[in-house]
């Protein structure tokens, strides 16, 4: 079993970082140790303005099989031993567990989940926390909480309806059924479905495409998209105008306009 510091592998190619859940013998089951390692890497990346996109994937044949069953069993024993009393410490512990993995949502740069294999329960929820999802045709996905006797967690009831609509989300959450990568793309959960061996490469290629655009503008787009669901059009227009005003102060906008006039590819510096 990998040491805690090895549970997340990191590779960098220029301004693109790839993070990999790394516990393949357990299908990258999500533990507190893995979550702490993940949140630590995310915090480092968030503080590095030179990183323009992040790709998240899994080692071996799975993206992540979800929450560690041993941890869930411990919580169940604690809850049954002290009904009503243990409820609040369990609640706080689970909220802390969610935040470790959902720290991916705090990244200021775009994130891509390269779902290379099965993504179940909380494992799928982390992928839902990314901006873009590419999925393997062979992958099995599902939010299997009710099959375990659990209410969904890890923001499942918030993320899923926003991607697939309330009716499809209700079906998937009520039934806990597994579905294919093909269906994930069809219902709007994934942007693209690919053979498993192509998923990571495609995710990294997409990350490089994003990284070639002006990073100040791209980060502004991410902020705008994050707030759009709860904003009226007039509020969103004001936000867009403010973000454009910031961009007009940058060297990058001058480079972008010059490149368009000269019919060449721009070379943005994030300044």
Tens digits of residue pLDDT in 187-233: 999 999 999 999 999 999 999 999 999 999 999 999 999 999 899 99
Q: What average pLDDT score do residues 69-90 get? A: 91
Residues 154 and 255 in one domain: no
C-alpha dihedral (134, 136, 137, 141), degrees to nearest 10? -90
> SS3 for 114?
strand
pTM of the model: 0.94
Residue 268, in any domain of the structure:
no
Residues 118 and 185 in one domain: yes
- The DSSP code sequence of 9-43 is EEEEETTEEEEEE--GGGTT-B-HHHHHHHHHHHH
Residue 267, in any domain of the structure:
no
Name the CA radius of gyration of the chain, rounded: 20
Residues 202 and 221 in one domain: no
Residues 34 and 133 in one domain: yes
pLDDT at 97 over 70: yes
DSSP H or E stretch at residue 88: helix 87-102
> SS3 for 65?
coil
Residues 136 and 223 in one domain: no
């Amino acid at each position: 079993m990998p040491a805690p510091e090895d549970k997340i592998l990191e590779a960098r190619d220029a301004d693109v970082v790839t993070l990999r859940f790394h516990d393949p013998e357990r299908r990258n089951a999500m533990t507190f140790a893995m979550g702490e390692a993940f949140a630590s890497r995310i915090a480092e990346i968030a503080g590095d303005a030179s990183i323009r996109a992040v790709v998240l994937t899994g080692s071996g044949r799975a993206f992540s099989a979800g929450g560690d069953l041993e941890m869930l069993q411990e919580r169940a024993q604690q809850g049954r031993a002290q009904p009503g009393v243990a409820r609040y410490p369990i609640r706080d512990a689970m909220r802390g567990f969610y935040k470790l993995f959902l720290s991916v949502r705090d990244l200021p740069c775009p994130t891509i989940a390269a779902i290379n294999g099965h993504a179940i329960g909380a494992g799928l929820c982390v992928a839902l926390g990314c901006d873009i999802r590419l999925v393997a045709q062979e992958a099995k996905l599902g939010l299997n909480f009710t099959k375990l006797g659990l209410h969904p967690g890890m923001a499942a009831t918030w993320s899923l309806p926003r991607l697939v609509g309330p009716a499809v989300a209700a079906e998937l959450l009520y039934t806990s059924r597994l579905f294919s990568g093909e269906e994930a793309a069809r219902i709007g959960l994934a942007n693209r479905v690919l053979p498993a061996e192509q998923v990571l490469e495609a995710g990294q290629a997409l990350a490089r495409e994003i990284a070639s655009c002006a990073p100040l503008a791209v980060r502004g787009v991410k902020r705008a998209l994050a707030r759009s669901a709860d904003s009226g059009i007039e509020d969103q227009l004001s936000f867009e105008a403010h973000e454009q005003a910031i961009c007009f102060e940058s060297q990058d906008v001058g480079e972008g306009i010059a490149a368009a006039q000269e019919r060449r590819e721009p070379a943005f510096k994030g300044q």
